[in-house]
Amino acid sequence: MHMCESFADQEFQGLRMEVELVVPKRFSISDLGKKDPFVYYGVKRNFTIKRIFCFDLTPLNKYLGPVSSLIQALSFSFFSFFYLLFKRTDTIYGRDRFDLILIGIFRPFVFEVHKIHKFLDICLAKRAKKIIAITGGIRDELVKAGVDKEKIFVAPDAANIKMLDIQCSTPEARKKTNLPIDKKIILYAGHLYKWKGVETLALASKFLSENEFIVIVGGIKWYLSDFKKFVNKNNLKNVLVLGHQDYLKIPYFLKSADCLVLTGTKNSEVSQYQTSPMKMFEYMAARKPIVASDLPSFREVLNEGNAILVEPDSPEAMAKGIKTALENKELSVRISEQAYQDVQNYTWDNRAVSILEFINK
């Protein structure tokens, strides 16, 4: 949504960009699906959204598992193919491999790669007119597989800095989020996929005091359920798992924290080399100290000057990094301010401009 808004705000050769976001028309299985996406994400109505029919078996996920998602993705690819085949466009820009399988045979396209499925993504990358890779690790992997380096542009994710840098004190933010006033709050905001390594943060609670309180915000239903079972199984007392929260409420959660945590794992290629988490840039914009797993993907943006980097997959090292952030006020202020300065380069508008310049070379 933010990228479509920023694309639509740009001009090329004196003409304003006309942007349409093509998405599958899916069952509304939660209150989130009933909300206006422009309002939910806080973006301007300067582009249109086209919903295409697909066989959405989401309500049967419990019984069909990954098969339901595969059927939804392939059917959307099929029906969007006929829609896009005859639609007049200057550029088809996609970031989902299945969506591009068919249309990519007949129309030139730009492929934004977020992680590499060895065979399919490399085939699509070789056919693509231009490639946007969210990390240098993805670019290097594609080049190693024989993709022309000259048609690859590295563009990390970004943040809406104005939305995140709210004028609200930490006590005020805690009142809005119903978080305890008298605790040191360590906060993670994001998905709970296994390759995110959030279990390391949860286990770090064993090395923290009762006054140091870990808050986990985010996670879709089935991953959230598994994560709560993990917390209960390990008898982790000072860990609060809140689940999904409204998008525009996230700045208040970030502002509530004494430090923000970004986890990853050495056990996943995606985590090590192929992720550019939006939360990383959101953390930087929140002006709070960041404690992050020391991985190559994160180091493309973070360093010792703007974050506290700790050994991945080590709860004890994570706890030590958190204690440093909480106890060394001078260090925390310095890295928070440096992160805020650094994130000024990572806005959605900057990202859109650089991508459009590369596409139109």
pLDDT score recorded for residue 31: 62
pLDDT score recorded for residue 118: 79
pLDDT in tens, 4-15: 999 999 987 788
Which helix or strand (DSSP H or E) is residue 320 part of? Answer: helix 315-327
Strands of the chain (E only): list them: 11-12, 15-16, 20-25, 48-53, 93-94, 110-113, 130-133, 152-154, 184-189, 212-217, 239-243, 259-262, 290-293, 308-310
- Is the pLDDT assigned to residue 270 strictly greater than 70? yes
- Is 129 in the same domain as 175? no
- Is 35 in the same domain as 144? yes
Average pLDDT over residues 280-309: 97
Domain count, the chain: 2
Q: How confident is the model at residue 57 (pLDDT cuts 50, 70, 90)?
A: confident
**CA gyration radius for the chain?**
21
How many CB atoms within 10 Å of residue 7? 23
d(CA 310, CA 206): 17
Q: Say what percent of the chain tops pLDDT 90.
A: 81
- Is 152 in the same domain as 171? no
In the chain, what is the straight-line distance between the N-terminal and C-terminal CA atoms, in Å?
Answer: 25
- What tokens appear for 34 in the block? 């009933």
DSSP state of 23: E
How many CB atoms within 10 Å of residue 214? 26
d(CA 281, CA 286): 9
pLDDT score recorded for residue 343: 97
Residue 75 maps to which CATH number? 3.40.50.2000
pLDDT score recorded for residue 30: 60
Which helix or strand (DSSP H or E) is residue 231 part of? Answer: helix 221-233
- Is 61 in the same domain as 14? yes
pLDDT in tens, 327-355: 999 999 999 999 999 999 999 999 999 99
Cβ contacts of 123 within 8 Å, gap of 6 or more = none
- Is 145 in the same domain as 176? no
Among the listed residues 256, 272, 255, the one whose alpha carbon sits nearest the alpha carbon of residue 264: 272
- Is 153 in the same domain as 8? yes
Among the listed residues 144, 156, 136, the one whose alpha carbon sits nearest the alpha carbon of residue 280: 156
pLDDT score recorded for residue 12: 78
Q: How confident is the model at residue 111 (pLDDT cuts 50, 70, 90)?
A: very high
d(CA 317, CA 309): 9
The CA–CA distances, whole Å, from 28 to 34, 48, 59, 282 equal: 6, 20, 9, 28
- Is 306 in the same domain as 209? yes
How many CB atoms within 10 Å of residue 202? 22
Which range marks the domain in which residue 248 is found? 161-343
Among the listed residues 82, 134, 88, 132, the one whose alpha carbon sits nearest the alpha carbon of residue 110: 132
* pTM beyond 0.75: yes
pLDDT in tens, 151-209: 999 999 999 999 998 889 999 999 999 999 999 999 999 999 999 999 999 999 999 99
Task: Report DSSP letters for 246-274, one per residue.
Answer: -GGGHHHHHHH-SEEEE---TT-HHHHHS
- Is 189 in the same domain as 335? yes
Instruction: Tell the residue number behind the tokens 């249309």, with chain if given.
Output: 103
Q: How confident is the model at residue 221 (pLDDT cuts 50, 70, 90)?
A: confident
Of 64-73, 155-164, 215-224, the one with minimum mean pLDDT is 64-73
- Is 67 in the same domain as 166? no
DSSP state of 360: T
pLDDT score recorded for residue 117: 81
Give the sheet arrangement for strand 184-189, strand by strand: 239-243, 212-217, 184-189, 259-262, 290-293, 308-310
- Is 217 in the same domain as 139? no
pLDDT in tens, 21-54: 999 998 766 666 678 999 999 999 999 999 999 9
42 three-class SS = coil
- Is 236 in the same domain as 325? yes
- Is 121 in the same domain as 215? no
d(CA 212, CA 122): 45
Q: Which residues of 240-255 are buried (b: 16+ CB within 10 A; e: fewer)?
A: bbbeeeebeebbbbbb
